[in-house]
């Protein structure tokens, strides 16, 4: 299989996961069902259920009323081998704004709960923080899977199978690094093949990508890496604000930093820019992080 065909295949698999089925079952909510990516850990990737919940909520709204913010909590680990049921509660529809609550279920219990707000396009005041200077172009950086060749456990293959091309500006955190212990990092990211033009799909795919790597600003601050024996990391919540339209099949810069870690929790924030410097979205996530004694 050629590299181009492989890239298309990875994105087609993502589109299959994001293609939810609506059901005829109705209570006071709209009901959707979906499937999951197979994962090495057996747990559902958090960005996947974020994107699915968002798409389910958007299916209950006119196409021109777009999401501008969401706040979600990861309640239980999801099982990637089982299907997902998503219920959407139409909380409010106003003249310009709508609010939806979406919950993802497995085995009759919620694994993720989200409230999102949607708005019609509206003129108003505008400003945006600029993109940082001095960031190398994505073409100057090797894909992550090329930088981890030879690592045990099939890491390079796992990274090459994901739909996203991720390129760390600093060393990827799959093994110990000599990089400075600093609570910040930047990565370039895009999907490996084009998506349809539907902006709802691009917004959901951006939510999908937003959960990748954001935790690493916390890990990097303490010299921690993903393969550290005994390391335990779990996402607790995730918030996102969409500022401007963007395509996720074009390069986006994800600038991340961690303002705080304490009590076994770390907070990470991120800003996502288009290649020409437009601020597309802002992200915040808190994680549980437990580092083995003497390893930090």
Active-site residues: which are they?
Answer: 211, 235, 285
Q: Find residue 66's DSSP bridge partners.
A: 119
CB 143: neighbour CB atoms within 10 A? 19
Distance CA 221, CA 223 (A): 6
Give the closest residue to 77 by CA, choosing from 40, 111, 104.
111
- Helix residue spans in the chain (DSSP H): 3-18, 46-58, 144-147, 155-161, 199-210, 216-221
Annotate 148-187 with DSSP letters as a single string.
STT-GGGHHHHHHHSSEEEEESS--TTS---S---SEEEE
């Amino acid at each position: 299989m050629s590299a181009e065909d492989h890239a298309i295949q990875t994105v087609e698999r993502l589109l299959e996961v994001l293609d939810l089925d609506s059901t005829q079952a109705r209570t006071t909510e709209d009901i959707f069902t979906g499937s999951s990516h197979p994962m090495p850990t057996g747990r559902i990737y958090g960005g996947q259920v974020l994107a699915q919940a968002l798409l389910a909520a958007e299916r209950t709204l006119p196409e021109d009323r777009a999401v501008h913010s969401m706040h979600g909590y990861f309640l239980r680990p999801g099982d990637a081998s089982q299907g997902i049921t998503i219920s959407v509660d139409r909380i409010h529809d106003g003249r310009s704004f709508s609010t939806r609550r979406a919950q993802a279920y497995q085995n009759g219990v919620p694994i993720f709960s989200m409230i999102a707000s949607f708005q019609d396009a509206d003129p108003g005041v505008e400003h945006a923080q600029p993109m940082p200077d001095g960031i190398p172009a994505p073409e100057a950086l090797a894909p992550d899977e090329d930088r981890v060749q030879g690592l045990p456990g099939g890491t390079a293959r796992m990274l090459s199978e994901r739909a996203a091309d991720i390129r760390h500006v600093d060393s990827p955190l799959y093994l110990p690094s000599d990089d400075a212990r600093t609570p910040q990092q930047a990565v370039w990211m895009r999907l490996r093949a084009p998506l349809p033009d539907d902006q709802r799909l691009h917004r959901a795919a951006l939510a999908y990508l937003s959960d990748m790597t954001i935790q690493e600003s916390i890990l990097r601050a303490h010299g921690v890496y993903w393969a550290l024996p005994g390391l335990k990391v779990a996402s607790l919540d995730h918030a996102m604000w969409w500022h401007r339209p963007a395509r996720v099949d074009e390069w986006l810069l994800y600038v991340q930093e961690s303002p705080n870690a304490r009590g076994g929790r770390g907070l990470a924030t991120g800003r996502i820019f288009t290649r020409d410097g437009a601020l597309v979205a802002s992200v915040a996530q808190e994680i549980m992080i437990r580092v083995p004694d003497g390893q930090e």
